[in-house]
């Protein structure tokens, strides 16, 4: 019959009752977490600052449109051949890797599912994402350049394509998995064959996600240096053909960064700004596409 | 009514049963997709096969010494060394592991803390900002980090290294790890720090996925028992996520081992095995990047051999990481009812 009333003897549940040691370790952990976030922002801010500040003082119309000087220590000159090379080689790589990667993802999600072969391919695609980019370059050097006999922009595109392929496969598969099964069943009920269903129903439903994944892969490939080292050779004037030697922005930066001469370092900063602008442009386009045209819930 | 239902009229148009061509179209398309999938396997097999084949001349010349030898002398202008070129990868394998270790020691606590911030602490608006920062960090090309590292970070760290060596130089173990620094600032430590920045995004994103799988019932139970936020993380989040975190760290290790350009620019290009992380050294991928252009013959073959060693090491690390992550996933799904 007696109603227990809170008051004497009830535990104090307010936060003030936490012992000093526990409160201290809680605050310490929170402080460490906050510090870590700041520690991650600092290098990003510093890199952005240096690339913008040092790069902006170098970049001019003349810098962007001139040929690369033959000696890195010479003043003047520009980076136009490297811009052309980067766009050309990355574009060719995308043309090779994206269709192949999308088809591979279609296999994994529409045909393979959980079959042993599909599981092996899935694991190996993950492993391939982790293969160092320089190994891709050596592979294309061995398998293509030594067979054909010359370094070329096309060889560089092959190496970048190998790098992009697993990224495209895995991101595309993730997107295809989001396409509701109702769509496939509706299409099948209308009598469409499986390939017709895939090409006219599933892929269009997923096209925005696929595009954004592909753009991210392109952005990553555009900034890669290592696969190009052994494959694309070296030119000083713009080369619009894929079949001969070429150059690229990351290569230009790498070659100039280690030079003790001021003109070379200035050129490297300018090229870095151009490269970052290209990469960030691809990344932003990918984000806009994926946020604006996200898969709708049917 | 019923009659028409029982006996439907035969399809007026025969193509209704085979819209989009016959069975051939289906088979061709399926074959096309399988081929694309198998291309991944083919490329991986070809990488191992062709590069090993090209590396054979160097492997034959150096034998097992290719993996255990500490000397790497491609050409010897003054002729006081051994008669022929000597290729031993031990110093570079050592360097790869030292740099990766430095990177992991710095990056792992920071990445896990950021992931905790994103999943447990951050208000919604701050979370979006933090995710953008991490994404941007992942988007910066490695050569730009290298450029920044060699021209800005390495010179700036020289006085720090001097001070560090002066402060702990007399202490037994720390004294040999932080020995006399190299004057250019290009060292294992600098390369490791730059690498740490580059692997923070991958470890963060995987840790975040792992933390997101912790059932909120566990967390609420911990808080209901009177745990502070830190005790909730320690008691409910961490035990659940440990396996996944290990996998994420190993993926970061794989990335760190294979990173080429930023390390090539900041590590200082010296062939030596030393406990002193403030000294210059070299790592497998950066040696290839630095020397490939000027190499020929056996030297080039030896560099491709380094590539094979690197390929095998990273594939092993990545496979192990995937196995660990998958195991953890299965376990987490089993408990998260």
Dump pLDDT digits (tens) for A86-105: 999 999 999 999 999 999 99
Please check whether residue A13 touches B, CB under 8 A: yes
Q: Report CB contact under 8 Å: B139, A46.
A: no
pLDDT at B333: 65
Q: What tokens does A23 get?
A: 């409160």
Q: Which chain A residues are Cβ-neighbours of B17 within 8 angstroms?
A: 191
Q: Report CB contact under 8 Å: A257, B29.
A: no
Window A:238-297, CB contacts with B under 8 Å: 250, 253-254, 257-258, 265, 268-269, 272, 275-276, 279-280, 283
pLDDT at A192: 87
As a whole number of angstroms, the distance between CA B169 and CA B278 comes to: 12
- Cα distance from B313 to chain A (closest Cα, Å)? 10
Residue B79 has pLDDT above 60, yes or no: no
Number of A/B CB contacts below 8 angstroms equals 280
Report the residue of chain A nearest B144, measured CA to CA. A272
Mean pLDDT, rounded, of chain B: 85
Q: What tokens does A102 get?
A: 């999308």
pLDDT digits (tens, 9 = 90+) for A169-198: 999 999 999 999 999 999 999 988 888 899
pLDDT at B233: 92
Q: Which residue has the tokens 């995987």?
A: B206
Please check whether residue A188 touches B, CB under 8 A: no
Neighbours of B133 (CB within 10 A): 17
Mean pLDDT, rounded, of chain A: 88
Q: SS3 letters for A177-212? A: HHCCHHHHHHHHHCCECHHHHHHHHHHHHHHHHHHH
Please check whether residue A198 touches B, CB under 8 A: yes
pLDDT at B337: 36
Residue A240 has φ and ψ, to the nearest 5°, of -95, 5
Lowest mean pLDDT across B2-16, B24-38, B90-104, B285-299: B2-16
Best mutation target, B36, B52, B186, B311, to test chain A (most A CBs within 10 A): B36
Window A:78-107, CB contacts with B under 8 Å: 100-101, 103-104, 106-107
Report the residue of chain A nearest B225, measured CA to CA. A13
Residue A162 Cα to chain centre, angstroms: 13
Residue B21 has pLDDT above 80, yes or no: no
pLDDT digits (tens, 9 = 90+) for A17-33: 778 888 899 999 999 99
Please check whether residue A119 touches B, CB under 8 A: no
Q: Which chain B residues are Cβ-neighbours of A219 within 8 angstroms?
A: 139
The residue among A13 and B163 whose pLDDT is bigger is B163
- Cα distance from B122 to chain A (closest Cα, Å)? 10
pLDDT at B60: 84
B77 pLDDT band (50/70/90 cuts)?
low
The residue among B8 and A168 whose pLDDT is bigger is A168
Percent of the residues in chain A that have a pLDDT greater than 70, as a whole number: 94
B294 pLDDT band (50/70/90 cuts)?
confident
pLDDT at B4: 45
pLDDT at A295: 56
Please name every residue paired with A192 in a beta bridge, in sequence order, or none if there are none.
B19
Contact B61, B83 (CB under 8 A): no
pLDDT at A6: 55
Of A50, A135, A198, the CB nearest to B148: A50
The residue among A69 and A134 whose pLDDT is bigger is A134
As a whole number of angstroms, the distance between CA A265 and CA A259 comes to: 7
Q: Which chain A residues are Cβ-neighbours of B116 within 8 angstroms?
A: 33
Side-chain half-sphere of B92: how many Cα atoms within 13 Å?
30
Q: SS3 letters for chain A? A: CCCCCCCCCCCCCCHHHCCHHHHHHHHHHHHHHHHHHHHHHHHHHHHHHHHHHHHHCCCCHHHHHCCCCCCCCCCCCCCHHHHHHHHHHHHHHHHHHHHHHHHHHHHHHHHHCCCHHHHHHHHHHHHHHCCCHHHHHHHHHHHHHHHHCCCCHHHHHHHHHHHHHHHHHHHHHHHHHHCCHHHHHHHHHCCECHHHHHHHHHHHHHHHHHHHHHHHHHHHHHCCCHHHHCCCCCCCCCCCCCCCCCCCHHHHHHHHHCCCCHHHHHHHHHHHHHHHHHHHHHHHHHHHHHHHCCCCCC
Residue A213 has pLDDT above 90, yes or no: no
Q: Mean of the pLDDT values across residues B67-72? A: 82
DSSP state of B151: I
Best mutation target, B55, B147, B205, to test chain A (most A CBs within 10 A): B147
As a whole number of angstroms, the distance between CA B100 and CA B257 comes to: 6
pLDDT digits (tens, 9 = 90+) for A234-246: 888 888 888 888 8
Whether this model's ipTM surpasses 0.90 comes out as no
């Amino acid at each position: 019959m007696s109603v227990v009333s809170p008051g004497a003897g009830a535990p104090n549940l307010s936060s003030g009752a936490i012992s000093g040691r526990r409160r201290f370790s809680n605050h310490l952990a929170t402080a460490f977490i906050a510090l870590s976030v700041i520690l991650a922002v600092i290098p990003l801010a510093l890199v952005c600052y240096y690339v913008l500040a040092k790069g902006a003082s170098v970049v001019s119309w003349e810098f962007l449109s001139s040929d690369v000087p033959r000696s890195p220590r010479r003043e003047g000159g520009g980076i136009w051949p490297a811009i052309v090379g980067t766009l050309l080689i990355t574009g060719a790589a995308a043309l090779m890797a994206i269709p192949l990667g999308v088809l591979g993802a279609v296999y994994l999600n529409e045909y393979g599912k959980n079959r042993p072969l599909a599981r092996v391919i899935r694991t190996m695609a993950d492993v391939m994402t982790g293969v160092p980019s320089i190994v891709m370059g050596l592979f294309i050097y061995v398998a293509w350049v030594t067979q054909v006999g010359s370094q070329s922009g096309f060889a560089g595109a092959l190496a970048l394509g190998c790098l992009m392929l697993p990224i495209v496969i895995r991101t595309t598969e993730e997107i295809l998995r989001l396409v509701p099964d109702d769509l496939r069943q509706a299409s099948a009920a209308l009598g469409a064959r499986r390939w017709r269903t895939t090409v006219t129903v599933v892929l269009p439903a997923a096209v925005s996600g696929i595009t954004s994944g592909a753009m991210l892969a392109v952005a990553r490939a555009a900034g890669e240096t290592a696969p190009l080292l052994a494959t694309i050779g070296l030119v000083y004037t713009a080369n619009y053909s894929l079949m001969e030697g070429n150059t690229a922005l990351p290569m230009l930066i790498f070659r100039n960064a280690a030079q003790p001469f001021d003109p070379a370092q200035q050129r490297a900063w300018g090229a870095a700004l151009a490269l970052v602008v290209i990469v960030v442009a691809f990344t932003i386009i990918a984000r806009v596409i994926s946020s604006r045209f996200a898969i709708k819930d049917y | 009514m019923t009659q028409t239902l029982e006996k439907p009229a035969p399809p007026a148009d025969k193509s209704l049963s085979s819209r989009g061509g016959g069975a051939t179209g289906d088979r061709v398309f399926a074959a096309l997709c399988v081929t694309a999938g198998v291309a991944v396997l083919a490329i991986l097999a070809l990488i191992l096969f062709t590069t090993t084949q090209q590396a054979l001349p160097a492997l034959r010349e150096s034998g097992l010494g290719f993996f255990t030898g500490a000397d790497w002398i491609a050409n010897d202008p003054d002729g006081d060394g051994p008669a022929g070129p000597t290729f031993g990868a031990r110093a570079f394998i050592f360097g790869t592991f030292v740099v990766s270790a430095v990177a992991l020691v710095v990056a792992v606590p920071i990445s896990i803390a950021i992931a905790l911030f994103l999943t447990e602490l951050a208000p919604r608006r701050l979370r979006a900002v933090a995710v953008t920062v991490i994404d941007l960090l992942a988007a910066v090309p490695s050569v730009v980090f290298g450029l920044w590292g060699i021209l800005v970070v390495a010179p700036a760290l020289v006085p720090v290294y001097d001070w560090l060596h002066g402060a702990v130089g007399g202490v037994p173990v720390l004294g040999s790890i932080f020995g006399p620094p190299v004057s250019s600032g290009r060292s294992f430590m600098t390369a490791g720090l730059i690498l740490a920045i580059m692997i923070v995004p991958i470890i963060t994103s995987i840790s975040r996925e792992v933390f997101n799988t912790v059932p909120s019932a566990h967390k609420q139970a911990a808080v209901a028992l009177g745990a502070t936020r830190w005790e909730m993380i320690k008691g409910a989040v961490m035990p659940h996520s440990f396996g996944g975190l290990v996998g994420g760290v190993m993926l970061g290790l794989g990335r760190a081992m294979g990173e080429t350009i930023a390390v090539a620019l900041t590590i200082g290009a010296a062939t030596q095995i030393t406990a002193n992380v403030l000294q210059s050294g070299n790592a497998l991928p950066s040696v290839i990047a630095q020397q490939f252009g000027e190499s020929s013959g056996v030297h080039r073959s030896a560099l491709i051999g380094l590539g094979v060693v690197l390929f095998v090491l990273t594939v092993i690390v990545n496979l192990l990481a995937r196995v660990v992550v998958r195991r953890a996933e299965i376990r987490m799904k089993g408990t998260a009812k």
